[in-house]
A and B are shown apart, each in its own frame.
Chain A
Amino acid sequence: MSEINYIIPELFLSVSIMFLLMMGVFKKKSADLIYKLSILVFFISFILIFIFQFTLDQPVHLFNDSYVVDYLSSFMKTLVLISTFFIMLASYNYIKLTGINKIEYPILLLSSSLGMMVMISSYDLIVFYIGLELQSLSLYVLCAFNRDNLRSSEAGLKYFVLSALSSGLLLYGSSLIYGFTGSTNFEVISNNLNSLNEGSVFGIVFILVGLAFKISAVPFHMWAPDVYEGSPTSVTNFFSMVPKIAALTVFIRFLFVPFLNAFEQWQMIIIFISLASMIFGAVAAIGQKNLKRLMAYSSIGHMGYALAGLATGSNEGIQSSISYISIYLIMNLGIFSCIYCLKRKEIFYEDIEDLSGLSKNHPLISISLLILLFSLAGIPPLAGFFAKFYIFMSVINAKMYTLAIIGLVSTVISAFYYLRIIKIIYFDDKKEKFDIEKNFGLNFSIIFSTLIILIYFLYPNILLDFISRIQII
């Protein structure tokens, strides 16, 4: 098979982006059509991934070893595509009613996803950086997409400035690594990296800082709450799910391929980032009033748990992180789909107080939120518990008891703010009714995510079977 065949999904995505862009320019009032076509494009690329990448037995290295297609990359790309597919389905009404349904919106989502797919598969510093920039540039625009809204523009600018800075750090780290190892290829770096050399350790630190920024881990999380709150909800939804998949994959790739020799050096950094994110995510979310802002803090905390798996430095740890993020995605999809439902006369509400007494007016949305929030808090027998359970299995196997204890105690602290939302939904007095949502896509994603979370405990093997095939080391 020629090399090009392996990247047909990416090629298809790029061609469709150009095609849709042309279509948007030449055909008047085609925004709605393009939106629907992009959903289709996501779906087709998802199928293409299955055909051309998922079925491979052996990792394939392409283009002079700068691009890799292996099980990890195919799995994560699938996650990226499915998540975006569902986000677009669920946010269709939101996009239309808030007036951000312009032709650029779906195209930016597509190009950002393409950037992530490149990031996920990259096996070379330069290819990685190209992918990163493609996704970041699309995200800057997406943040500020609601341009008449002051908060949205502010979010876009803030994200742009900080993200550009972090990309700069990342690039500087890459150049240091290149300087000390003499190559941009991961495999060569891995062979040449001398973990005692201060220059390369500096490079590692800079790259990790850049990546930690992308995944919004403490202490590089400052942008997250403002950007989450300011961006349109659909973009926040995208932000809280998809870039995390890509960033986590890149984390795995960097830590376990080029930097594997420097395990001792980066382990401390990852443990610190992970602990700090868990604690900060749990404590800072307590006082929040805005749902989207709260989800920002909650996602910071969750990234802490996902990184804890990586800190073990074992295959099990990687697998637990990946199962964590998979389950986290489903929960977040459900929560945000519920947020889209908080609409009264074309105005969307996003304060926690607006949920007051929701259970009396909308029992079905409330029960979904109840299940999803308990799952986020990690209460058995919901899927969120298993996500944490896998993480702590691998953490305790690596004998990192302090990390396990602090992690579990911060679970209890974070349970408090999830309980607070449940309290507002179930125990407080009811307010005016919200509009009843009839959009099929939205209802489908709520029911889909809630059901998966609820019955996950019956068949934990399905996810485990997929993930146990990911072997990095």
Chain B
Amino acid sequence: MNFPILSVVTFLPLFGSFFIFLIKTHPNNENRSIKYVALFTSFVNFLFTLYLWFSFDLSTSEFQFIENKQWMKGYFNFQFGIDGISILFILLTAFITPLCILSVIKSVKVRVKEFLIAILIMETLMIGVFCSLDLVVFYLFFEGGLIPMFLIIGIWGGPRRVYSAFKFFLFTLLGSVFMLIAIISIYWMTGTTDVIQLYQLTIPEKYQYILWLAFFSSFAVKLPMWPVHTWLPDAHVEAPTAGSVILAAILLKMAGYGFIRFSIGLFPLASDYFTPLIYFLSVVAIIYTSLVALMQDDMKKLIAYSSVAHMGFVTIGIFTLTKQGLEGSIIQMISHGLVSAALFLCVGVVYDRFHSRLISSYGGLVNIMPKYAFIFMIFTLAALGLPGTSGFVGEILILIGIFQKNIFVAFLATTGVILAAAYMLWLYKRVIFGKIKNVELKKLFDLNKIESFVLLSLAVFVLFFGFYPEPLLKTINVSITNLINNHETNIAYFLQGEINQ
């Protein structure tokens, strides 16, 4: 196909943001035109990704829609392409962004123009991450996301926004520079940074471990894994609702995607070798952050810690290197993308009305906001992985995967499910049920149309994929099988080499 659909999907939001940049704003006006342009751009982009999904060939594990342009002569090419794994993340990004823009239409009042530009640029960078098939291009998009996110947290954030924005920026940057060194080393070792070619080559064993660690340092910070997760709660708490949604729903997934695409794909031996480390860190993350989440009095912080725990499941699933584990972790990422986005939006709903994120200032909301209570319940249950929600599908697959590999880890990870139930249900109980303690709360009104629409559309997908995850599984099936086969052949190749010696 000659039509560069991936470039269109990637750069359309950027184009839209350029348009918004040109529109004049009026400080006292509502600036509707800007919002409509932003909404329209992101919605059209979503339609494009849907078209992408329908024209995607499910039967092959090859990369599709490949675009290759000469970029830095003699060094790197600008290469785009997707397989069954990346398309889901592109869909997720394109789906979440318009909802995000819808949700901020009322809540962001200052500097709307800049905010929407930042979000659209963010969308371009995030889709670019999932499309790129060249390490340098990947790094470009991966790191470029820091700039708009830094501004989103810093300009529209809460009282401690400066601290959080700096922490977010410097943590991630420090993690990533090691990846840059690794990428350059790979280039000089193999002569290419083209991912398709690198999959065919094998990186010498002695370098694999150190390179894997360099990539790990970047992804671990971004994911985030314990003990480098500390930027996440701060960033989430201070970021505006839309910022938190993007951060939790998509930004964290870039690291999970990176693990699957690069760590496993490029360094098979090292991935096997470091599996215990990943298990250890993930189990600690699951149990420790769940316990920490239990004790939070800030709703956003609680959800942020729960994200770390959920991401712990994801890393365990990825590094089981079994079909179930990998499929589970991708579904878990998609599901967490939907659920955490919805939870942050839910917090945003009450925060917009009452300007407090503290659990203790609420209570008895079910009496005033029944619709809200209902929708919040769906997402609470999805977050704790109740059967029938998408959260369950991911977790059960991951646990099946890990049970085949290591029963002890599986046992510890399962406790995370129980803890998740504990903190989520307790949160729900304290916020929604009980008597109305605070008289002020009576002034609150239930969800308006836009909020209901946004939350319901998320809820529909959470429930749909909970009952019928087949569309997701079918999309990733071939690619995952191919990934595992490749991995096994690679390991066998190295073992053969050792025997020969």
Contact = CB atoms under 8 A, between A and B. Distances in A.
A287 to B, nearest CB: 16
A393 interface: yes
A392 B180 contact: yes
B154 to A, nearest CB: 5
Nearest to B157: A427
Lowest 7 CB-CB distances: which A-B pairs, in order? A408-B177, A380-B140, A396-B184, A380-B143, A412-B174, A381-B140, A427-B154
Interface residues of A, number: 31
A412 B73 contact: no
Contacts of B141: 381
B161 A427 contact: yes
Contacts, number: 81
A401 interface: yes
A405 B181 contact: yes
Contacts of A392: 180-181, 184
A123 interface: no
B177 A380 contact: no
Question: Which applies to chain B's interface (DSSP): helix, strand, loop or mixed?
Answer: helix
B144 interface: yes
B53 interface: no
Contact of A379 (B71, B146, B187): B146
17 contacts: A370-B151, A379-B143, A379-B144, A381-B141, A385-B143, A392-B180, A397-B188, A408-B178, A408-B181, A412-B170, A416-B166, A416-B170, A419-B166, A426-B151, A427-B155, A427-B162, A427-B165
Interface in B143-189: 143-144, 146-147, 150-151, 154-155, 161-162, 165-166, 169-170, 173-174, 177-178, 180-181, 184-185, 187-188
A415 interface: yes
A324 interface: no
Interface string B246-257: 000000000000
Given A426-B155, A461-B72, A465-B73, A393 B181 contact: no
Contact of A396 (B143, B154, B173, B181): B181
Interface of A: 363, 370, 374, 379-381, 385, 389, 392-393, 396-397, 401, 404-405, 408-409, 411-412, 415-416, 419, 422-423, 426-427, 457, 460-461, 464-465
A379 B181 contact: no
Contacts of B199: none
A297 to B, nearest CB: 18
Contacts of A397: 188
Interface string B4-19: 0000000000000000
A419 B73 contact: no
A404 B144 contact: no
A411 to B, nearest CB: 6
Contacts of B187: 393
A210 B219 CA distance: 45
B72 A460 contact: yes
B403 interface: no
A461 B71 CA distance: 7
Given A392-B184, A396-B181, A396-B188, A415 B155 contact: no
B139 interface: yes
Interface string B333-373: 00000000000000000000000000000000000000000
A404 B147 contact: no
Given A392-B184, A409-B177, A461 B144 contact: no
Nearest to B73: A461
Interface in B64-102: 70-73, 75
Contacts of B73: 461, 464-465
The winner among A380, A385, A396, A409 for most chain B CB atoms within 10 A is A380
A116 to B, nearest CB: 30
A409 B217 CA distance: 13
A396 B146 contact: no
Contacts of A380: 139-140, 143-144
Nearest to B70: A461
A388 to B, nearest CB: 9
Contacts of A457: 140
Contacts of B114: 363
A190 B184 CA distance: 34
B184 A415 contact: no
A381 B106 CA distance: 32
A112 B423 CA distance: 71
A381 B150 CA distance: 15
Nearest to B125: A381
